């Protein structure tokens, strides 16, 4: 195993209170303490741990300190992984559905067994509070469980023929090698949601994790090996930000790759689609969001506030389905704002993710915090009022911020924030709210709170998004589809439909039969 560094450093805890002032620096030291087999730092190709010629650092975003040095793979290593996956595909697709199901279930069991260590890896490399990291590991494992079950339910069709001397059969077959390119905000679950489906139907994969969070991907590879997943079926090629374009090019252009699945920004997704176009690869894209959160006068205010807290501040606002634009009807606006401010004061605590009271960790890096601060500054310049927070803190920390008197010309209503900023727009009519909510070129998730059943149906059907939360702020589950419309992407993940993304339908006409 290549070298790794164990972190011992100090971090800051800031208590969110009226005024949102930073607390004194803590003197407690934190260390990344996980079992040695799970702390892998080399690439994983064809069943072997393979070092690269150079390494790149992985940093704790709460402190900026180095926690590990990971193999920095380049195009050559990516090509080796593709070749290994292609070779393994020809044997893996011959496994029976039950055999693949059993192996995925073993992988699920191992992820569950090691949930504490896997959660620590997420907290240290992404900054997520440990409680949320444990939640992500449960969510991550649930996709391995779900697709282990769905592996045995990939059914074709026998279609009634118009001719008596032939039979029409529709067969479902795996597409082949899939390139899996995943983000840093859910470094474990975004892998299993894709890979679980791919492996269930007989595809093999090459995973390129985000440069900020490669440790979770490599730990999953270790457990996949322990589960008995054959060599070459699951490969991981970590790389630095500098090498990402060249590695991505291999994964999207190599003719041996049949499928790409990407979660990330819309801009990057477009680049990958252009590269994949030359060889006409099958593609799934889970791209950016700009979710509206609509609170109507008939809503239960307490439930709406709880939904807003869950939807906005999970992972410090760094999820693609986080609510980004809050639209609150005039009749309920003032009560909602008062109770929301009180909830922020009572529930939100800034600090290192290992601290048990922490609910808000850092943003992934200082650039992310600067983006949020810039949106706050722009809004205030244009007339918004800071009700809570608003300050950029040390390192990658940003105070959770509540803005009132927000208008649609402000930057925070026109682009995805990916941070703990909650801007509230007051509206009067349902039509007005829908016009604002749908005035975006992306459409991943949308939320609404109302007790008017007719209104719920009207608005849910009118929202131009792929996922709608009605009186609920947390939506994701393996049993349901995940994906958007407009420029939020292509295809669906999770559910019984997610498995279709890795299948081709072959028509077989069996003729010459005697009637």
Catalytic residue numbers read 286, 320
List, in order, residues 6 or more apart from 90 with CB less than 8 Å away.
none
* CA atoms within 13 A of residue 120's CA, in its CB half-sphere: 15
Residues 71 and 146: their CA atoms lie apart, in Å, by 32
Cβ atoms within 10 Å, residue 76: 13
What sign does the CA torsion over 477, 478, 484, 487 have?
A: positive
> What single-letter DSSP state applies at residue 403?
E
Q: Report CA Rg, the chain.
A: 24
The string of DSSP codes covering 42-85 is SEEETTEEE--SSEEEEE-TTT--EEEEEE---HHHHHHHHHHH
Question: Maximum Cα–Cα distance for the chain, whole Å?
Answer: 87
Structure tokens at 187: 């470094």
Residues 147 and 389: their CA atoms lie apart, in Å, by 42
Residues in the chain: 515
User: Which segments of 193-333 are extended strands (E)?
Assistant: 204-208, 234-236, 257-263, 282-286, 291-295, 323-329
């Amino acid at each position: 195993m290549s070298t790794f560094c164990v972190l011992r450093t100090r971090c800051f805890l800031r208590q969110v209170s009226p005024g949102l002032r930073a607390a004194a620096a803590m003197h407690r030291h934190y260390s990344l303490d996980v079992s040695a087999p799970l702390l892998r730092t080399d690439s994983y190709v064809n069943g072997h741990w393979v070092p690269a010629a150079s390494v790149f650092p992985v940093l704790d975003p709460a402190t900026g300190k180095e926690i590990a040095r990971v193999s920095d793979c380049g195009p050559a290593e990516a090509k080796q992984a593709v070749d290994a996956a292609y070779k393994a595909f020809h044997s893996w697709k011959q496994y029976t559905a039950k055999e693949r199901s059993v192996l995925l279930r073993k992988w699920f069991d191992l992820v569950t067994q090691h949930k504490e260590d896997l959660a620590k890896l997420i907290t240290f490399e992404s900054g997520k509070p440990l409680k949320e990291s444990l939640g992500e590991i449960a969510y991550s494992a649930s996709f391995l469980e779900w697709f282990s079950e769905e592996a045995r339910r990939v059914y074709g069709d026998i279609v009634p023929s118009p001719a008596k001397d032939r039979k029409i059969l529709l067969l479902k077959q795996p597409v082949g090698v899939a390139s899996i390119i995943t983000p840093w905000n859910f470094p474990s679950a975004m892998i299993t949601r894709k890979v679980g489906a791919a492996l269930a139907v007989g595809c093999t994969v090459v995973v390129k994790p985000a440069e900020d969070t490669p440790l979770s991907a490599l730990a999953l590879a270790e457990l996949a090996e322990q589960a008995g997943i054959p060599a070459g079926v699951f490969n991981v090629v970590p790389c630095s930000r500098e090498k990402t374009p060249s590695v991505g090019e291999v994964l999207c252009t190599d003719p041996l790759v049949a499928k790409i699945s990407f979660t990330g920004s819309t801009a990057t997704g477009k680049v990958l689609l252009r590269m994949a176009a030359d060889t006409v690869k099958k593609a799934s894209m889970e791209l950016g969001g700009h979710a509206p959160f609509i609170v109507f006068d008939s809503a239960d205010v307490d439930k709406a506030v709880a939904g807003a807290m869950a939807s906005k501040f999970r992972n410090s606002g760094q999820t693609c389905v986080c609510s980004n634009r809050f639209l609150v009807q005039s009749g309920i606006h003032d009560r909602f704002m008062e109770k929301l401010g009180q909830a922020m004061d009572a529930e939100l605590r800034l600090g290192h993710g290992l601290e048990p009271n922490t609910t808000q960790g850092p943003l992934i890096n200082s650039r992310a915090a600067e983006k949020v601060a810039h949106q706050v500054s722009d809004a205030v310049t244009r007339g918004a009022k800071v009700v809570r927070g608003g300050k950029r803190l040390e390192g990658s920390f940003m105070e959770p911020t509540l803005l009132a008197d927000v208008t649609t010309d402000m930057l925070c209503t026109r682009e995805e924030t990916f941070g703990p900023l909650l801007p509230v727009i007051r509206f009067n009519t349902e039509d007005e709210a829908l016009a604002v909510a749908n005035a975006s070129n992306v459409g991943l998730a949308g939320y609404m709170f109302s007790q008017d059943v007719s209104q719920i149906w009207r608005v849910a059907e009118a929202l131009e998004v792929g996922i709608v939360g009605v009186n609920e702020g947390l939506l994701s589950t393996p049993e349901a589809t995940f994906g958007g419309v407009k420029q939020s992407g292509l295809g669906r993940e999770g559910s019984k439909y997610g498995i279709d993304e890795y299948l081709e339908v072959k028509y077989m006409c069996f003729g010459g039969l005697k009637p």
